[in-house]
Amino acid sequence: MKDKHRTKFVTKDIFKCSVIGAFTKLNPKYMMHNPVMFVVEIGFVIALLLSIFPELFGPTDGINNVRLYNIFVCVILFVTVLFANFAEAVAEGRGKAQAESLKKTQKDTKARLLKADGTETVVSSSELKKGDVVMVSAGEIIPNDGEVIEGTASVDESAITGESAPVLRESGGDFASVTGGTTVVSDWLKIRITSNPGESFLDKMIALVEGASRKKTPNEIALQILLVALTIIFMIVIVTLYPIGRYSGVTLPVSTLIALAVCLIPTTIGALLSAIGIAGMDRVTRFNVIAMSGKAVEACGDVDTMILDKTGTITYGNRMAADFIPVSGVSVEELTKYAALSSLSDATPEGKSVVALAKERGVVVDESSLKGAEFIEFTAKTRMSGVDLPDGISIRKGASDAIVEYVKGLGGAVPADLQGHTDQVSKQGGTPLTVCVGKRVLGVIYLKDIVKDGLVERFARLRAIGIKTIMCTGDNPLTAATIAQEAGVDGFIAECRPEDKIKVIKEEQAQGKIVAMTGDGTNDAPALAQADVGLAMNSGTTAAKEAANMVDLDSDPTKILEVVEIGKQLLITRGSLTTFSIANDIAKYFAIIPAMFMMVIPQMQVLNIMKLASPTSAILSALIFNAIIIPCLIPLAMRGVKYKPMSASKMLTRNMLIYGLGGVIVPFIGIKVIDLIIAPLLTMLGLGMAM
């Protein structure tokens, strides 16, 4: 998976802050949150005491240069803890660096607050509260999150999304939402503020990437419990080794037992666990997605079913009028005229496209004829809109069955060829809007909804990893079937109401499945709240964004695929490094256990398959390898294991081969190389045959 927002791994500033953070995190109160590394820190403290008082835990007869040996163990343990803290500090440092860049967009701008009497007053953006109305003109920064209530303008959102091309924001429809910190490029907007200071999406994103609001996910907590259990088991084993050694005539220095404990407990994954979690959240934010919790990101990795709203998700969303199809006995000009009249006060993209197409066809409507007219807004219940003219003429346009029911209610007749026209439009993947004047049906407006490029390939990728896709739409079954087939989804629900979306989500969840939902409208809010993963569009309504646990600042609904892959990559990375860490213990076992006993029990030499020079070099080599492998794995923990769509069984086999087998082989090579380097040095210092 290619990260289009990838930046330099560690900058000079991040490195400097991470080094300072590594020392700051040595505080025992902080280290207790990571039990595995806390055990290592306790070991360091004991080794430090032994370096000062070699006989603190008993006589050391027969041990050469024990003080120097204890110092070596102490230093290596200290470096191990520092490297673990450094890994977490690097992850946090990258988040803080991103937060600083986001804070640059939070300038203390001046806002033109509109009072109730229509006058303006200039106030600081920090003084704005929810419900305030502000005016923003070309060149001015939008002071806080809000919804456009009047005006149309191009907005530069590059400071937030990284996309250089300005986007259109207008009142009504799906493009009314604006984000604080973005800049109006042209025209003007009247905006109603939708968040109080400190509660905007930008504020939430800054808090998220700084790590202040990051909590451990259920999977992370479960893994930490496993690591603590393994640590306790190994500690019990190590404690019993001392009396066994005394019984066998082997003097086991406390420093050696500490070294054995540190090498055998899962220090590698223990050191990197927090960094993996922070880095997973960091990768999501680098795709311009605000995750309200780490649990949401992790849940993405387990998604089984994806519910997708059609309009704006599978299709581009702005259905455009493509043609006017009259019924028999009605001219195209008459249908076009009344279709345009019904749409003059319709601020939706569809309504505007009807007026634009009418003008293109040479039909000019006298807007003065609407003076005193009453515009009838579209509702989910009536599924139609229109206008009541002053002369008593009522014009309606809407779903065919709704118009038919409306006309019949007035005592009108339905043209025989109407059904054929609506079916024709539906089969072509379009949306038919039927137009009537009073109880007389005039014909159909053909609205064309285009499927987004590349969706077939994206849905195929989802299918390959076992995720079922279901399209929900309010369109009739024929239109829904056409769009579903063209897009390549696994299923669809036509004439779908908000309660239908919730029903299908609950049905999937009842089967034990994890469900993801994308949406941008107020009618999507209940379903977004019900889903395990709810991804709302930043261009959508406030209700949708508040109901979801993720918000896409790019307003690209198909990005759910990338979010799912990030979630899976997070789980795979954690699992792979856990496998690698546990596999490491096998090699360390063959390095340390024979070294501890082979001086008294020569038969143990058989287990010294790495042919290490001496017991001391074997123990110190394993301990040094245990320390240096942590910083070596930081880049992998931060960037994640490369994710490829495949079945769970294939993924398990692949990880076992790469990280399981690799976790056994790498320490054998690493410990042997370190032993070859330090053995001559230890001999010079008189530690070659220590113990």
Q: 10 Å Cβ neighbour count for 226?
A: 14
The reply to whether 383 sits in an annotated binding site is yes
DSSP classification of residue 607: G
Calpha distance 217→638 (Å, rounded): 17
Asked if residue 505 lies in contact with residue 515, where contact means CB atoms within 8 angstroms, the answer is yes
Alpha carbon 339 to chain centroid distance?
43
The SS3 assignment for 440 reads strand
Angle between helices 35-52 and 254-264 (to 10 degrees): 160
Calpha distance 305→515 (Å, rounded): 5
Asked if residue 370 lies in contact with residue 345, where contact means CB atoms within 8 angstroms, the answer is yes
Query: Quick one: which H or E segment has residue 262?
Result: helix 254-264
Amino acid at 372: G
Calpha distance 282→392 (Å, rounded): 60
The reply to whether 24 sits in an annotated binding site is no
Angle between helices 477-487 and 418-427 (to 10 degrees): 10
Query: Quick one: which H or E segment has residue 150?
Result: strand 146-150
Which of 67, 73, 89 is CA-nearest to residue 10?
89
The reply to whether 397 sits in an annotated binding site is yes
DSSP classification of residue 641: P
Which of 190, 163, 2, 143 is CA-nearest to residue 555?
163
Our answer to whether residue 675 is catalytic in this structure is no
Asked if residue 162 lies in contact with residue 288, where contact means CB atoms within 8 angstroms, the answer is yes
β-sheet bridge partners, residue 492: 471
Sign of torsion, CA 587 593 594 599?
Answer: positive
Beta strands in 126-248 (DSSP E): 133-137, 146-150, 152-156, 167-170, 177-178, 183-184, 188-193
Amino acid at 89: A
The SS3 assignment for 414 reads coil
Calpha distance 33→574 (Å, rounded): 18
Asked if residue 550 lies in contact with residue 557, where contact means CB atoms within 8 angstroms, the answer is no
Asked if residue 615 lies in contact with residue 688, where contact means CB atoms within 8 angstroms, the answer is no
Helix %, strand %, coil % for the chain, to 5? 55, 15, 30
The reply to whether 384 sits in an annotated binding site is yes
The reply to whether 513 sits in an annotated binding site is no
β-sheet bridge partners, residue 337: none
The reply to whether 153 sits in an annotated binding site is no
Q: Given phi > 0 = left and psi -120 to 50 = alpha, else beta, which region is 10?
A: beta
Amino acid at 583: A
3-state secondary structure 453-470: CCHHHHHHHHHHCCCEEE
Calpha distance 201→553 (Å, rounded): 9
The reply to whether 574 sits in an annotated binding site is no
The reply to whether 285 sits in an annotated binding site is no
φ/ψ (deg, to 5) at 110 = -95, 135
Which of 521, 475, 480 is CA-nearest to residue 495?
475
The DSSP line for 178-204 is: E-TT-EE-SSEEEEEE-S-TT-SHHHH
φ/ψ (deg, to 5) at 430 = -95, 180
Q: 305-314: buried (b, 16+ CB within 10 Å) or exposed (e) per residue?
A: bbbbbbbbbb
Calpha distance 262→422 (Å, rounded): 73
Sign of torsion, CA 448 449 452 456?
Answer: negative
The reply to whether 520 sits in an annotated binding site is yes
| Residue 559 structure tokens | 């990005």
Residue tagged active-site, from 145, 174, 309, 475: 309
The SS3 assignment for 106 reads coil
What residues form the annotated binding site? 346, 350, 378-385, 397, 520, 524
Catalytic residues: 309
What residues form the annotated binding site for ATP? 346, 350, 378-385, 397
What residues form the annotated binding site for Mg(2+)? 520, 524
